[in-house]
Structure 1
Amino acid sequence: MAGVEEIEVVVAHRQRATLRVGDVFLKVDVDPAHADVEVRAMAMAPVPTPAVLWREPPVLAIAAVPGEALGVLGEPSTASPAAWAAAGAAVRRLHDAPVPPWPGPRLDDLAAELDEECAWLLANAVLPAEVVRRNREIAEAALRPWEPVFIHGDLQITHVFVDGDEVTGVIDWSEAAPGDAMFDLAVLTLGHEDRLDDLLAGYGAGADRDVIRAWWSLRALTASRWLIEHGFDPDTPGCEFDVLRARAREA
């Protein structure tokens, strides 16, 4: 890394920080279990992932992947329909792979979290009560038994990199676990609902659009307090609050 001109802070909050130094990402996490999962998941995943360069807890060093992120939350994605389809095909390969041996999210815990976060949103009046209520109803469709598959667990649009119409890397695997396939598809298209058809063209059969829509609501409801408390703004145009308002208008 000799001759590096600057250090880029990619993300930083009380729980973790990621710095870019040249072509190396340094991930610092207060919980070493996150890095344990990330390293194990990347070794198992049948999709392109970053190379692990070294690990010295609490720091994990990984190589940058080529290409550009599929998009950014709050901005239209400029990636082609073929790139979105390639992302869908990559997600399908992941979901068809052997399930990780560690535990994943529990349905009861998700339901309890949804109740708690909706109560917080209402108590703090950060959104109209009707928006919270309607999205809470929509989210119910996600709270059903599922057949666990290998999920990324935090498949934000910024975590999938493409070069032209090819997926070149999927990053940030610390939430990987057995889970609901529809959750990954929903997180990837959150705020980019207009690209769902392109994604599913590559993913293939088996996607449940109603459940994906339910996960859009559930994800946005349960993430909002964390974002606010860690210095992010879910009310930025195109982000979580806009997703919730859009779902409520569809009622």
Structure 2
Amino acid sequence: MDEVEIVVAHAERATLRVGDVFLKVDVDRARAEAEAEAMALVPVPTPRILWHRPPVLAVAALPGATLGRLGGPVTGSPTAWAAAGAAIRQLHDAPLPSRTGRAGRSVAEVVAELDRECAALVAEGILPADLVARNRRVAETALRPWTPAFTHGDLQIAHLFLDGDRVTGIIDWSEAGRGDPLYDLATFTLGHEEHLGDVLAGYGPGRDVDLDVIRAWWSLRSLVAIRWLATHGFDPHAPGCEVDVLRARM
């Protein structure tokens, strides 16, 4: 009999693996519905949906492996990273969905969250004030008008699978929808700046890719995530993770 593996679990959602089946339990029914809807629309490979009975979504495992994870070792040739960039571009060039995703929130919403988290990071003694202030200034560059694209919204490198240099699928679509394409590129390369050039080589020309905006999203995403991560069983202070990303901007 297969063992039950806890892939991730916190107060909002949990993912379990039993053999070649992943069971995703999400307290937010709308988020689970958004994931199933996005997977049906996107032109890139995704896991096969086996069944969906809220609050549980069952999907098949993907072949291959990820390029790594934030704070851990990464693998893959430059060609593999470029293949990931090409898949991201294919997503961004797809017809726009009706939903607005995580990467498509208004500037006012993002600023409100950013200001709240920056203040709390300093007030609670989590990070030095100068580190927060410097990255808050860097983050400003991301707060600009952008042309919407079909975005994943949480495109960590652990969410994209490859078999050699071929992309076999992208998982975890609950934050997908209309959004800023540079948010996806920044999320995918967060903590792995050395691979940005390979990703952009595969992503190709034809879209306005501003490196300063990508760096701004690295700072912004890290600033707003640290307290949530710390209270949900993750360690943003681990080597190579969010706090180190902020220090690199100094």
Give the aligned length. 245
Cross-structure match for 2:180: 180
Residue 31 (structure 1) aligned with residue 25 (structure 2): no
1:116-171 Cα offsets, whole Å, 9 max, x none, are 11001010111111110000000000000111100000000100001100100100
Cross-structure match for 1:47: 44
Structure 1 Cα separation of the partners of residues 81 and 45 of structure 2: 15
Cross-structure match for 2:225: 223
**Equivalent position SS for 2:249:** helix
Percent identical pairs in the alignment equals 66
Amino acid at match of 2:151: I
| Contact kept in structure 2, 1:50 and 1:64, CA below 8 Å | yes
Structure 2 Cα separation of the partners of residues 105 and 36 of structure 1: 19
| Contact kept in structure 2, 1:32 and 1:58, CA below 8 Å | yes
Bigger mean CA deviation after superposition, 198-207 or 11-20: 198-207
Structure 1 Cα separation of the partners of residues 11 and 192 of structure 2: 28
Indicate which of 207, 228, 235 corresponds to 2:209: 207
Amino acid at match of 2:240: G
Unaligned runs of 5+ in 2: none
Query: Map of 1:58-207 to 2, 5 A cutoff?
Result: 58-103=55-100, 104-205=104-205, 206-207=208-209
Amino acid at match of 2:109: D
Amino acid at match of 2:202: G
Amino acid at match of 1:194: E
Unaligned runs of 5+ in 1: none
Structure 1 Cα separation of the partners of residues 115 and 35 of structure 2: 29
Indicate which of 210, 227, 234 corresponds to 1:232: 234
Q: In the TM superposition, what is the alpha-carbon distance from 1:49 to its structure 2 partner?
A: 0.3
**Equivalent position SS for 1:90:** helix
Question: After TM superposition, what 4+ stretches of structure 1 lie above 2 angstroms from structure 2?
Answer: none
**Equivalent position SS for 1:227:** helix
Amino acid at match of 1:164: G
Q: TM-score normalised to the size of structure 1?
A: 0.96
Q: In the TM superposition, what is the alpha-carbon distance from 1:76 to its structure 2 partner?
A: 3.0
Amino acid at match of 2:228: W
**Equivalent position SS for 1:20:** strand
Structure 1 Cα separation of the partners of residues 117 and 186 of structure 2: 19
| Contact kept in structure 2, 1:76 and 1:192, CA below 8 Å | no
Bigger mean CA deviation after superposition, 181-190 or 100-109: 100-109
Cross-structure match for 2:16: 19
Bigger mean CA deviation after superposition, 198-207 or 9-18: 198-207
Q: Please tell me the root mean square deviation across aligned C-alpha atoms, in Å.
A: 0.8
Structure 1 Cα separation of the partners of residues 118 and 127 of structure 2: 10
Structure 1 Cα separation of the partners of residues 67 and 233 of structure 2: 24
Q: In the TM superposition, what is the alpha-carbon distance from 1:71 to its structure 2 partner?
A: 1.1
Q: TM-score normalised to the size of structure 2?
A: 0.96
